[in-house]
Structure 1
Amino acid sequence: MKKNVITATKEKVLFIWRIPSLKVLFLINTILGFSTSFFIPYSSLFGIDEVGMSNAAFGIFMTVLALGGVTISSSLAKLSDTKLSRRYLLILTTFAGVIGYILFAYLRNYFALSVTAFFLLGASAAAVPQLWAYARDALKEAAIPAEDTPFIMNIFRMFFALAWTVGPALGAWLLILVDFKGLFLFVAAGYLLAFLTVLFLLKEVSKQKIVNQEALSVKKSIIKPHIFANLAAALLLSTATSIHMLNVPQFVTKVLHGTEMDVGLIFSVPPIFEVPMMIGLGLLATRMDVALLVKIGFVTAFTYFLLFNFVTEPWQIYPLQILSAAQVSITSGIAISYFQDFMPEAPGTATTLYMNTTQIGSTVGYLLFGLISEFINYDHMIAVYTLSAGLACVFIVLYGKERRIQTTAQTNAPGL
């Protein structure tokens, strides 16, 4: 039985590897994964400790960064589904990342950093959703069966996770050796490599024709109860995750008295487990209801945050990161296909709707972290985002059911 599973997995992976354009897409995805893994885990250390921002000012700064990503990526998403090619937009957004992070290496003025964050880093934030939407188009152009899409997209997400297995630890090492200036120059180099890869190796892919322009109507999609419930859950979990991401470095270094290397190792543990989990979950997604898997991912996230409340030593976080890997494998992997299915005729808009929802959740998280941490300790912040994750579970488990019911009804319909 085990042999059959291993053989089936090998065949699936080889099948994916033969799909046109995917080798280049995997490479770009990995490069962008490395680039983000160098900065995100240390953003609070950069703002609060390096630049000297207050907690509240840092929360506002991260909010500006998030709003730039939401505003610019939303505009680009609609253009990508109608007028401009995704390849052109990938060239534009990766180049914005190059310039943005070079400026971050040298700027320490709060206003200048905020302007750079909104326009340049905001534009670069659109690179990942456009890349994933391009991947969806590439699968359709290659006539890949719809039931295989969740597995392939999870493998695609896995390459992003692979970069995070060593990225944060390497980022910590770079931070010790060359400080934030050198770290940001390395991030800029990553975006430059992605830019050159897109420019010279990535070909144009035909986009799915939009039969009905209403497919692009985000407003009409959001007001549907089951979509609204799922988006609310995604927003709340993203809020919890962003507070957690910013809080962990401060919690480990200031409450648990750990080091920057401890922080790097903590962020490096989950991706090690994400890789095999994504493969296994991707296979499961071809055989069972994706909506059920997504709900399990949300409950796992809540459990992870809840257990974090009992941590008293840095080493105790390491085993908990296995739970983090499990929830990320679902909520950041399978969830992509799950939300793309809400608007199958407009994958760019659907992907960006999901990404923007999580980005808005991150914005709320940044504000809450900055404002609340002014008044309570970092260890008490854990209870705040645990509550947010709990509410996310309530929304997706109790109110996000219509999609599953509709799928069941279609399956049982005569002639299907």
Structure 2
Amino acid sequence: MQSDSTLPRSGPVNLTSAAFLIVAFLTGIAGALQTPTLSLFLSEEVHARPAMVGLFFTGSAVIGILVSQFLASHSDRRGDRKSLILGCCLLGALACVLFAWNRNYFILLFIGVFLSSFGSTANPQMFALAREHAERTGREAVMFSSILRAQVSLAWVVGPPLAYALALGFGFEVMYLSAAAAFIVCGLIVWFWLPSMRKDPAAGAGVLEAPRRNRRDALLLFTACTMMWGSNSLYIINMPLYIIHELKLPEKLAGLMMGTAAGLEIPTMLIAGYYARRFGKRFLMRVAVVGGLLFYIGMLTVHNPILLLALQLMNAIYIGILAGIGMLYFQDLMPGQAGAATTLYTNTTRVGWIIAGSLAGIAAEIWSYHSVFWLALGMIAVTVWCLLRIRDV
């Protein structure tokens, strides 16, 4: 396929941009169909004990980190990222087929999770290719990436309700086969419409020089994003139980709070992308942390349903900026390694889940659901310390 740098902007480039948007949405849908119902699937279909369910999530995160980092390193050094994304989509579809018809816990954990880790890597690799495409065609990379990230958020607004509707209404087989179909359609779009950008092996040998100069900042940013995602994971795990068991409020309020935050995150990402060049990514990340600080202070002190819903604006600022700008910050700190940078950012989510999954249960068991929000504030304090020491780019 011809590189977009040699094409007029009016036709093919616009088609390529539309293909990126569709791929972002479909990879998001594929993940949003599987993740929200996974614990229910393991409990009801595989008949796994609660401890085994927790082990499955931890194992998934660890395997996902190993696979995604290996693929990221490979993609930045040689080969064609487009082919890698296509392969990830096909393996992701195969994983969904396995989950649809297999009910053996250990086969799902070791083979299913291994295959699905490739599928989940399609998304960060797509963002890395989008960054390279934007730079090669002279487009605004920050705004383009923000729009793509908004597509993923939109998928997560639509996906979880659809996942429960399919799983409870038609069965988990239909739900997982629907996710497989999303991967297959995504693979077809990747094959026919995404740009092919082969790397020069000689150029790939030198991509590690820039990250060595920025290693400290990248490590600090990794810690900051991990703490931010970890606090968000604590909230997602703990909030429904806190609302129902301690505040004695209706169950539907928890879903309404999550839906409100997800809907507000989309305009937040777009606004952050628009102002990133003017104010800088470090400043916007600090704005996000202020939003998170106000949000968790509110969760510790507010008990009124209307005010809890209003607090979701702060939550949307916190997560919307993190989701839209955090990845771009990594890419700027690691020039020449878009795949490794994007995957490193994605893995902050996985590490955050591992930390939150351990802390949430322990804190709630020893103290209360309310106490978990204090842990979230502690994570934000660590984030502030890290962001104060990262240079702006």
- Indicate the TM-score class for this superposition, using the shorter chain for normalisation: 0.7 to 0.9
Confirm or deny that 1:321 pairs with 2:312: yes
TM norm structure 1: 0.80
**Residues 15 and 193 in structure 2, CA contact (< 8 A), matched pair in contact too:** no
Q: CA deviation at 1:161?
A: 1.7
Q: Which moved more, 1:94-103 or 1:55-64?
A: 55-64
1:193 to 182, 185, 188: 185
1:7 aligned residue: none
**Residues 226 and 348 in structure 2, CA contact (< 8 A), matched pair in contact too:** yes
Percent identity (aligned)? 26
2:4 aligned residue: none
2:128 aligned residue: 133
Confirm or deny that 1:80 pairs with 2:72: no
The CA RMSD measured in Å over matched residues stands at 3.2
Q: Distance in 2 between matches of 1:47 and 1:367?
A: 19
Q: Distance in 2 between matches of 1:17 and 1:387?
A: 49
Confirm or deny that 1:393 pairs with 2:389: no
Structure 1: runs of 5 or more not aligned: 1-13, 408-416
Q: CA deviation at 1:332?
A: 0.7
Confirm or deny that 1:353 pairs with 2:344: yes
2:297 aligned residue: 306
Confirm or deny that 1:166 pairs with 2:158: yes
Q: Distance in 1 between matches of 2:177 and 2:128?
A: 28
**Residues 60 and 113 in structure 2, CA contact (< 8 A), matched pair in contact too:** yes
Task: Give secondary structure in 2 for the equivalent of 1:399.
Answer: coil
Q: CA deviation at 1:124?
A: 1.4
Q: Which runs of 4+ in 1 moved over 6 A?
A: 14-17
Q: How many residues align?
A: 384
**Residues 233 and 391 in structure 1, CA contact (< 8 A), matched pair in contact too:** yes
TM norm structure 2: 0.84
**Residues 230 and 379 in structure 2, CA contact (< 8 A), matched pair in contact too:** yes
Q: CA deviation at 1:175?
A: 4.0
Q: CA deviation at 1:220?
A: 3.5
Distance change >3 Å, CA 254–CA 167, structure 1 → 2: farther
Question: CA offsets, 1:359-406, max 9 Å, x none?
Answer: 22322223334555555554443333332233222322x322xx22xx
Q: CA deviation at 1:25?
A: 0.7
Q: Distance in 2 between matches of 1:381 and 1:368?
A: 8
1:228 to 197, 219, 230: 219
**Residues 55 and 374 in structure 1, CA contact (< 8 A), matched pair in contact too:** no
Confirm or deny that 1:365 pairs with 2:360: no
Q: Distance in 1 between matches of 2:96 and 2:327?
A: 27
1:289 aligned residue: 280
**Residues 74 and 352 in structure 1, CA contact (< 8 A), matched pair in contact too:** yes
1:280 aligned residue: 271
Distance change >3 Å, CA 263–CA 123, structure 1 → 2: farther
Q: Distance in 2 between matches of 1:319 and 1:16?
A: 43
Q: Distance in 2 between matches of 1:172 and 1:286?
A: 40
**Residues 166 and 268 in structure 1, CA contact (< 8 A), matched pair in contact too:** no
Counterpart mapping for 1:2-401 below 5 A: 19=14, 21-47=16-42, 51=46, 53-144=48-139, 148-207=140-199, 211=203, 213=205, 215-216=207-208, 220=212, 223-224=215-216, 226-251=217-242, 256=248, 258-259=250-251, 264-310=255-301, 312=303, 317-369=308-360, 375=366, 377-396=368-387, 398-400=388-390
Q: CA deviation at 1:59?
A: 2.9
Structure 2: runs of 5 or more not aligned: 1-8
Q: CA deviation at 1:278?
A: 2.3
1:11 aligned residue: none
